[in-house]
Amino acid sequence: MTVIVDDAGSGDLLFGVVVGAYRKETGEFKYDLIDVRFYQEIFREKEYLQESSRIVSKLVAWFNLKPDEEIHICQGCIFDVAAEELRKVYGEDRVKRIRVVGEAQKLTEIAYLDEIRNLGYEPLAEREEKRGKSFFHMMRWLKDNPEMLRYAKTGWPRLKNYHLFKQFHQEPVYTAVCSDCGCECKVPFQPRADRPVYCQKCWPAHRPQRNGEKK
Protein backbone atom coordinates (compact mmCIF):
# COMPACT_ATOMS: atom_id res chain seq x y z
CA MET A 1 0.00 0.00 0.00
CA THR A 2 1.01 3.63 -0.46
CA VAL A 3 0.31 6.93 1.31
CA ILE A 4 0.51 9.97 -0.99
CA VAL A 5 1.19 13.46 0.39
CA ASP A 6 0.30 16.61 -1.55
CA ASP A 7 -0.32 20.32 -0.92
CA ALA A 8 -2.75 22.93 -2.23
CA GLY A 9 -2.73 26.71 -1.93
CA SER A 10 1.01 27.29 -1.59
CA GLY A 11 1.03 29.39 -4.76
CA ASP A 12 -2.25 31.15 -4.01
CA LEU A 13 -2.52 34.60 -2.48
CA LEU A 14 -5.34 33.71 -0.11
CA PHE A 15 -5.21 31.62 3.06
CA GLY A 16 -2.53 29.22 4.29
CA VAL A 17 -1.65 25.86 2.74
CA VAL A 18 -3.54 22.58 2.89
CA VAL A 19 -1.41 19.45 3.32
CA GLY A 20 -3.29 16.27 2.44
CA ALA A 21 -2.44 12.58 2.84
CA TYR A 22 -4.24 9.86 0.88
CA ARG A 23 -4.04 6.06 0.98
CA LYS A 24 -5.11 5.04 -2.50
CA GLU A 25 -5.86 1.38 -1.69
CA THR A 26 -8.46 2.25 0.97
CA GLY A 27 -9.54 5.74 -0.13
CA GLU A 28 -8.69 7.22 3.29
CA PHE A 29 -7.91 10.93 3.25
CA LYS A 30 -6.86 13.32 5.96
CA TYR A 31 -5.57 16.89 5.87
CA ASP A 32 -4.23 19.68 8.05
CA LEU A 33 -3.28 23.33 7.55
CA ILE A 34 -0.09 25.36 7.51
CA ASP A 35 -1.46 28.53 9.07
CA VAL A 36 -1.30 31.70 6.97
CA ARG A 37 0.82 33.41 9.67
CA PHE A 38 3.80 31.42 8.36
CA TYR A 39 3.41 33.41 5.11
CA GLN A 40 3.19 36.80 6.73
CA GLU A 41 5.72 38.56 8.99
CA ILE A 42 7.84 35.43 9.54
CA PHE A 43 7.82 34.31 5.90
CA ARG A 44 11.51 35.17 5.32
CA GLU A 45 12.54 32.81 8.14
CA LYS A 46 11.04 29.91 6.13
CA GLU A 47 9.54 28.39 9.25
CA TYR A 48 6.74 27.07 7.05
CA LEU A 49 9.15 24.29 5.99
CA GLN A 50 9.42 23.05 9.58
CA GLU A 51 5.67 23.39 10.06
CA SER A 52 5.10 21.42 6.86
CA SER A 53 7.38 18.67 8.18
CA ARG A 54 5.54 18.58 11.52
CA ILE A 55 2.16 18.27 9.81
CA VAL A 56 3.33 15.62 7.34
CA SER A 57 4.78 13.52 10.17
CA LYS A 58 1.50 13.77 12.07
CA LEU A 59 -0.61 12.84 9.05
CA VAL A 60 1.58 9.88 8.11
CA ALA A 61 1.54 8.62 11.70
CA TRP A 62 -2.28 8.73 11.65
CA PHE A 63 -2.28 6.06 8.90
CA ASN A 64 -0.31 3.64 11.09
CA LEU A 65 1.80 2.46 8.15
CA LYS A 66 2.53 -1.20 7.52
CA PRO A 67 6.25 -2.19 7.52
CA ASP A 68 6.38 -2.40 3.71
CA GLU A 69 4.13 0.60 2.97
CA GLU A 70 5.69 3.44 0.96
CA ILE A 71 5.24 7.20 1.30
CA HIS A 72 5.04 9.18 -1.93
CA ILE A 73 5.45 12.89 -1.31
CA CYS A 74 5.05 15.79 -3.74
CA GLN A 75 8.21 17.19 -5.35
CA GLY A 76 7.38 20.77 -4.31
CA CYS A 77 10.02 22.55 -2.22
CA ILE A 78 7.49 22.96 0.59
CA PHE A 79 8.18 19.29 1.41
CA ASP A 80 12.00 19.32 1.25
CA VAL A 81 12.43 19.23 5.03
CA ALA A 82 9.49 16.87 5.48
CA ALA A 83 10.92 14.31 3.05
CA GLU A 84 14.29 14.27 4.79
CA GLU A 85 12.68 13.82 8.20
CA LEU A 86 10.47 11.00 6.90
CA ARG A 87 13.52 9.20 5.50
CA LYS A 88 15.15 9.30 8.92
CA VAL A 89 12.11 7.58 10.43
CA TYR A 90 10.93 5.24 7.66
CA GLY A 91 14.12 4.70 5.62
CA GLU A 92 15.40 5.96 2.27
CA ASP A 93 13.72 3.24 0.22
CA ARG A 94 10.20 3.88 1.53
CA VAL A 95 10.05 7.65 0.87
CA LYS A 96 9.83 8.78 -2.77
CA ARG A 97 9.38 12.28 -4.26
CA ILE A 98 6.81 12.26 -7.07
CA ARG A 99 4.59 14.49 -9.18
CA VAL A 100 1.20 13.99 -7.55
CA VAL A 101 -1.81 13.54 -9.84
CA GLY A 102 -5.17 11.84 -9.61
CA GLU A 103 -7.33 11.41 -6.53
CA ALA A 104 -4.73 12.58 -3.99
CA GLN A 105 -4.29 15.88 -5.84
CA LYS A 106 -8.03 16.27 -6.36
CA LEU A 107 -8.97 15.73 -2.69
CA THR A 108 -6.25 18.07 -1.43
CA GLU A 109 -7.38 20.78 -3.86
CA ILE A 110 -11.02 20.34 -2.80
CA ALA A 111 -10.00 20.75 0.84
CA TYR A 112 -8.23 24.03 0.02
CA LEU A 113 -11.20 25.32 -1.99
CA ASP A 114 -13.54 24.50 0.88
CA GLU A 115 -11.33 26.47 3.28
CA ILE A 116 -11.26 29.61 1.14
CA ARG A 117 -14.99 29.37 0.49
CA ASN A 118 -15.44 29.42 4.26
CA LEU A 119 -13.86 32.90 4.15
CA GLY A 120 -16.57 34.05 1.77
CA TYR A 121 -14.43 33.92 -1.37
CA GLU A 122 -15.64 32.05 -4.44
CA PRO A 123 -12.68 30.81 -6.53
CA LEU A 124 -12.55 30.98 -10.29
CA ALA A 125 -13.71 27.82 -12.03
CA GLU A 126 -10.62 27.83 -14.28
CA ARG A 127 -8.10 28.73 -11.53
CA GLU A 128 -5.86 25.72 -12.26
CA GLU A 129 -5.45 26.67 -15.94
CA LYS A 130 -5.21 30.44 -15.34
CA ARG A 131 -3.08 30.97 -12.24
CA GLY A 132 -2.31 34.60 -13.08
CA LYS A 133 -5.98 35.43 -13.51
CA SER A 134 -6.74 33.66 -10.22
CA PHE A 135 -4.10 35.74 -8.40
CA PHE A 136 -5.63 39.03 -9.52
CA HIS A 137 -9.14 37.73 -8.83
CA MET A 138 -8.10 37.08 -5.21
CA MET A 139 -6.38 40.45 -5.00
CA ARG A 140 -9.49 42.28 -6.20
CA TRP A 141 -11.55 40.41 -3.61
CA LEU A 142 -9.11 41.49 -0.87
CA LYS A 143 -9.31 45.07 -2.12
CA ASP A 144 -13.08 44.92 -1.78
CA ASN A 145 -12.78 43.20 1.61
CA PRO A 146 -9.72 44.78 3.29
CA GLU A 147 -10.66 43.28 6.65
CA MET A 148 -9.75 39.88 5.11
CA LEU A 149 -6.12 40.86 4.51
CA ARG A 150 -5.32 38.92 7.68
CA TYR A 151 -5.94 35.80 5.57
CA ALA A 152 -3.52 36.80 2.78
CA LYS A 153 0.07 35.67 2.25
CA THR A 154 1.29 39.24 2.81
CA GLY A 155 4.91 38.20 3.44
CA TRP A 156 5.63 37.44 -0.23
CA PRO A 157 8.35 39.93 -1.33
CA ARG A 158 6.78 40.47 -4.76
CA LEU A 159 3.68 41.96 -3.14
CA LYS A 160 5.57 45.12 -2.16
CA ASN A 161 4.94 46.35 -5.73
CA TYR A 162 1.20 46.51 -5.09
CA HIS A 163 -0.31 49.42 -3.16
CA LEU A 164 -2.69 47.10 -1.29
CA PHE A 165 0.25 45.36 0.42
CA LYS A 166 2.72 48.23 0.89
CA GLN A 167 1.82 48.52 4.58
CA PHE A 168 3.26 45.04 5.11
CA HIS A 169 6.56 45.81 3.36
CA GLN A 170 7.68 49.11 4.86
CA GLU A 171 11.38 49.29 5.61
CA PRO A 172 12.18 49.89 9.30
CA VAL A 173 13.40 53.39 10.25
CA TYR A 174 15.72 54.04 13.20
CA THR A 175 16.55 57.21 15.13
CA ALA A 176 20.24 58.15 15.45
CA VAL A 177 22.50 61.11 16.17
CA CYS A 178 24.69 62.40 13.33
CA SER A 179 28.39 61.89 14.09
CA ASP A 180 29.26 65.22 12.40
CA CYS A 181 26.68 67.83 13.35
CA GLY A 182 25.12 66.09 16.37
CA CYS A 183 21.58 66.46 15.05
CA GLU A 184 18.99 63.72 15.42
CA CYS A 185 18.26 61.95 12.14
CA LYS A 186 16.41 58.96 10.72
CA VAL A 187 18.28 56.07 9.05
CA PRO A 188 17.10 52.83 7.38
CA PHE A 189 19.48 50.59 9.37
CA GLN A 190 20.16 49.66 12.97
CA PRO A 191 22.82 52.12 14.28
CA ARG A 192 25.93 50.61 15.86
CA ALA A 193 28.10 52.19 18.56
CA ASP A 194 31.33 51.34 16.70
CA ARG A 195 30.32 52.96 13.37
CA PRO A 196 29.61 56.61 12.57
CA VAL A 197 26.16 57.69 11.40
CA TYR A 198 25.58 60.75 9.22
CA CYS A 199 22.44 62.74 8.53
CA GLN A 200 21.32 63.53 4.99
CA LYS A 201 23.08 66.91 5.07
CA CYS A 202 26.44 65.56 6.26
CA TRP A 203 26.47 62.30 4.31
CA PRO A 204 27.76 63.77 0.96
CA ALA A 205 31.07 64.69 2.61
CA HIS A 206 31.60 61.04 3.57
CA ARG A 207 30.08 59.26 0.60
CA PRO A 208 32.63 56.90 -1.07
CA GLN A 209 33.92 58.15 -4.42
CA ARG A 210 32.85 56.33 -7.56
CA ASN A 211 35.34 55.44 -10.28
CA GLY A 212 36.47 58.59 -12.08
CA GLU A 213 34.61 60.86 -9.66
CA LYS A 214 36.45 63.86 -8.23
CA LYS A 215 35.84 65.46 -4.85
Give the model confidence (pLDDT) of 5-39 as tens digits.
999 999 999 999 999 999 989 999 999 999 999 99
Residue 121 forms part of a structural domain: yes
Buried-state track 122-143, b at ≥16 Cβ within 10 A, e below 16: ebeeebeeeeeebeebbbebbe
Q: What is the pTM of this model?
A: 0.77
Question: Per-residue pLDDT tens for 83-105?
Answer: 999 999 999 999 999 999 999 99
152, 208: one domain = no
How far apart CA 138 and CA 133 sit, in angstroms, is 9
106, 146: one domain = yes
Alpha helices per DSSP H over the chain: 47-62, 80-90, 103-117, 131-144
Cβ atoms of 39 and 154 within 8 Å: the answer is yes
25, 97: one domain = yes
Q: According to the model, what pLDDT value does residue 96 have?
A: 97
Domain that holds residue 201: 171-215
Overall domain count for the chain: 2
How far apart CA 27 and CA 155 sit, in angstroms, is 36
